């Protein structure tokens, strides 16, 4: 048994033609198709699509009345690689697996008896003509429509050895139409229908992705700033230097310390104590910001409470005397320690004398240096 299908073009090997035409379009598109690309405008792109759909296969069995085609609608899929050549034109090479057509003896309408199956595979090259405003956008983003015109090589194979067939023209004309929606990211969807002569009808839904081509992006030169004339600088007026009065930095002096001693059980200042305090007050009065600490003590003779009160009276005697000699009373602070802080042993006369004391410490001694 021999089966023919209805191709009208003599079989040729067109794979080399596919590759040659595609390479020529990518590497050297004629300047008539060249487009100025920029942001939001058309730019050449390489893209790929993968589609799934349904085929309707109608092999020619008119000369074989003993056979019927009982299964002609099949799942199908197609892979495509293409180039957007211009706003109007894209070129694709594609390969499709269209499934197989099933045969049964004539009169066996339910197909319970099979005479074999014939597989269809189709390779081809197509030109797509785009229309719609979105065709001028970068990566054709938006909704466009297109028409397809191409040539295909149809390859058949039988699923078993009982079905004999021969080609009656292995190449054919491919026609199609579709719509496509693309995003600015390059992703897109297309829906289309195609027909190869009278044998093959194929519809598919496909996912596409477009990549920009190297060297496609325009290079924008930075705008040159307008030249600004050189400013004319007027001579600065001559201003005679005026002497500047400066205040020398203050100088901080070290603390001043003194000690005055008292007779046993007494808060009265001795003559030697007054001489010490006279000199101390004279030195302190040279510092307006001076602060003064008085700490008064006793020996261990007498009770603790008595000695505490006695040390308080001794500090008061020193403070009054200093105030009489010009020291600011608000700058003086008193501490009465009683017998709690001896500097020597209270077991000897000299030790007890040393412990009966008022210690004077002056701090915060700032003063402007004397001009030379």
Mapping DSSP onto H, E and C, the string for the chain reads CCCECCCCECCCCCHHHHHHHHHHHHHCCCHHHCCCCCCCCCCCEEEEEEEEEEEEECCECCCCCCEEEEECEEEEEEEEEEEECCCCEEEEEEEEEEEEEEEEECCCCCCCCCCEEEEEEEEEEEEEEEECHHHHCHHHCEEEEEEEEEEEEEEEEECCCCCCCCCCCCEEEEEEEEEEEECCCCEEEEEEEEEECCCEEEEEEEEEEEEECCCCCCCCCCCCCCCCCCCCCCCCCCCCCCCCCCCCCCEEECCEEEEEECCCCCCCCCHHHHHHHHHHHHHHCCCCCCEEEEEEECCCCCCHHHHHHHHHHHHHHHHHHHHHCCCCHHHEEEEEEECCCCCCCCCCHHHHHHHCEEEEEEECEEECCCCC
Architecture of domain 251-367: 2-Layer Sandwich (3.30)
Given this model, what pLDDT does residue 113 score?
A: 58
Q: Where are the domains of the chain?
A: 15-212, 251-367
Query: What does the pLDDT read at residue 323?
Result: 95
Write down the pLDDT at residue 370.
Answer: 62
Tell me if 15-212 shares its fold with 251-367: no
CATH number for the region 15-212 comes to: 2.40.160.20
Quote the pLDDT of residue 141: 87
pTM beyond 0.85: no
**What does each of the 372 residues of the chain score in pLDDT, given as a tens digit?**
445 444 443 434 444 544 454 444 434 443 333 333 344 678 888 999 999 999 988 777 666 666 677 777 889 999 999 999 999 999 999 999 988 877 777 655 455 556 677 788 899 999 999 998 888 888 888 899 999 999 998 888 877 666 666 655 578 889 999 999 999 888 999 999 999 877 789 999 999 999 876 655 544 555 566 677 777 776 767 666 666 666 667 888 899 999 999 999 999 999 999 999 999 999 999 998 999 999 999 999 999 999 999 999 999 999 999 999 999 999 999 999 999 999 999 999 999 999 999 999 999 888 777 655
Distance of CA 67 to the CA centre of its chain: 68
């Amino acid at each position: 048994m021999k089966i023919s299908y209805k191709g009208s073009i003599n079989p040729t090997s067109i794979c080399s033609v596919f590759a040659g035409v595609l390479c020529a379009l990518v590497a050297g598109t004629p300047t008539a198709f060249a487009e100025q690309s920029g942001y939001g405008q058309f730019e050449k792109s390489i893209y790929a699509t993968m589609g799934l759909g349904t085929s309707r296969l109608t092999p020619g069995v008119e000369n074989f009345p003993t056979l019927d085609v009982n299964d002609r609608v099949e799942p199908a899929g197609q892979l495509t690689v293409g180039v957007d050549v211009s706003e109007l034109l894209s070129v694709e090479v594609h390969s499709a697996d269209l499934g197989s057509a099933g045969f049964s003896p004539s009169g066996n309408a339910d197909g319970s008896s099979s005479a074999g199956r014939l597989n269809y595979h189709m390779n081809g090259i197509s030109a797509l003509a785009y229309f719609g405003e979105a065709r001028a956008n970068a990566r054709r983003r938006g909704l466009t429509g297109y028409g397809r015109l191409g040539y295909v090589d149809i390859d058949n194979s039988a699923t078993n050895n009982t079905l004999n067939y021969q080609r009656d023209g292995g190449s054919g004309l491919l026609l199609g139409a579709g719509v496509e929606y693309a995003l600015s990211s390059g992703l897109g969807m297309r829906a289309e229908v195609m027909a190869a002569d009278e044998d093959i009808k194929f519809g598919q839904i496909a996912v596409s992705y477009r990549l920009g081509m190297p060297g496609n992006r325009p290079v924008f030169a930075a705008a040159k700033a307008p030249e600004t004339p050189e400013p004319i600088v007027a001579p600065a007026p001559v201003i005679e230097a005026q002497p500047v009065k400066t205040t020398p930095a203050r100088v901080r002096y070290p603390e001043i310390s003194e000690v005055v001693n008292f007779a046993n059980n007494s808060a009265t200042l001795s003559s030697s104590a007054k001489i010490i305090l006279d000199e101390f007050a004279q030195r302190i009065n040279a510092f307006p910001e001076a602060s003064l600490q008085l700490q008064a003590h006793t020996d261990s003779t007498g009770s603790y409470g008595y000695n505490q009160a006695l040390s308080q009276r001794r500090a008061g005697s020193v403070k009054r005397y200093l105030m009489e000699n010009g020291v600011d009373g608000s700058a003086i602070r008193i501490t009465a320690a009683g017998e709690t802080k001896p500097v020597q042993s209270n077991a000897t006369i000299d030790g007890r004398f040393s412990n009966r004391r008022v210690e004077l410490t002056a701090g915060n001694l700032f003063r402007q240096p004397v001009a030379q």
